[in-house]
Amino acid sequence: MEFIQSLDYQILAAIIEYVRGDFLTPVMLFITHLGDGGVIWLVLAALCLMRRQTRLCGVTMLLALFIGLLVGNLTIKPLVARMRPFLAYPELTNLVTQGGYSFPSAHAMSSFAAATSFYLFFRETGHTAYGIPCLVLAALVALSRLYVCVHYPSDVFCGTLLGIALAFLATRLTRTCAARLKKSREGSRHEK
């Protein structure tokens, strides 16, 4: 664990010293705020819910986000109770105010849960290219959390993996439910 903590620190210190700059900071602040509260993903899910063809995608995204809230934010964060890097190491200056615990990164988790759900839906329909911008945005949101120094790299990495896993789980659950519902509807039509 000491090795991971040391590596986490070194990466954040390198980002602050070598990557932060006057041009990049406003861009990264904008990107990091896109992930606040999962709002960008909730808006995308709501847009998907509006069209019958993409409704299952919207439901899947919302389910992945909800499971992430329960598992990541309400269960893992309080259990691990990892202090934010700027609190543990005052020399690592944060660019945004952030309370709560650090592990896992909720921004990374929610971004990858929603974006992967979106990608998987469109991959199945043969429109993979639609999902790629979402995955790129999710990666940028996740990386922005390092830039603003409110998460360790291991927080972001684990949040990303958890988000991807939740997307696969939510996709499986919604597809199974949709298939059962379709089968049930077809059965009632035949009975009439």
Average pLDDT, the chain: 92
- Per-residue pLDDT reduced to its tens digit, 93-107: 899 988 899 999 999
pLDDT on residue 187: 63
Percent of the chain with pLDDT over 90: 81
Amino acid, single-letter form, for residue 58: G
Q: Is 135 exposed, middle or buried (0-12, 13-18, 19+ CB in 10 A)?
A: middle
pLDDT at 183 over 70: yes
pLDDT band at residue 65 under the 50/70/90 scheme = very high
Structure tokens belonging to residue 10? 């070194």
Task: Let me know: does 170 contact 60? Beta carbons within 8 Å.
Answer: yes
Contact 102, 151 (CB under 8 A): yes
Count of CB atoms within 10 A of residue 141's CB? 27
- List the Cα angle 146/114/93 in 5-degree steps: 15
Show the tokens assigned to 121: 């839906």
pLDDT given at position 179 = 86
Residue 190 has pLDDT above 60, yes or no: no
pLDDT for 9-28, tens place per residue? 999 999 999 999 999 999 99
pLDDT at 167 over 70: yes
Mean pLDDT to the nearest integer, 112-135: 92
Task: Please report the pLDDT score of residue 145 as a whole number.
Answer: 97
**Contact criterion met (CB below 8 Å) for 114 and 44:** yes
Q: Each residue of 148-165: pLDDT tens digit?
A: 999 999 999 999 999 999
Q: What is the mean pLDDT of residues 81-86?
A: 94
Residue 55 has a CB neighbour count (10 Å cut-off) of 13
Query: What per-residue confidence (pLDDT) applies to 188?
Result: 62
Residues 70-82: tens digit of each pLDDT:
999 999 999 999 9
| Residue 192 pLDDT exceeds 80 | no
